Amino acid sequence: MAMAIQRNNSFHLLLSDDELALLKLLAERDGLNASDYLRSLLRQMAGAPPHLASVMRLGAMLESVKKRKKR
């Protein structure tokens, strides 16, 4: 049986209502809560080669620009 990870640290983010809603939707899509979703993204980016991490950041930037243009 796997032991649960003990977490003793917290980190607070200031998000807009839209960003929080999007985070929750993305997390739910993957069957996770928002904290677990962010932790999984951090682990993926930390383990990714630098060029792949750059592509992921670029994709996030392009998505952000596309959403701003819709407003």
- Residue ranges per domain, the chain? 17-70
What are the structure tokens assigned to 17, written together?
């209502």
Is residue 24 pLDDT above 80, yes or no? yes
pTM (two decimals): 0.62
Mean pLDDT of 52-62: 77
pLDDT category of residue 71 using cuts at 50, 70 and 90:
low
CA distances from 30 to 26, 36, 44, 45, 65 (A): 7, 10, 14, 17, 24
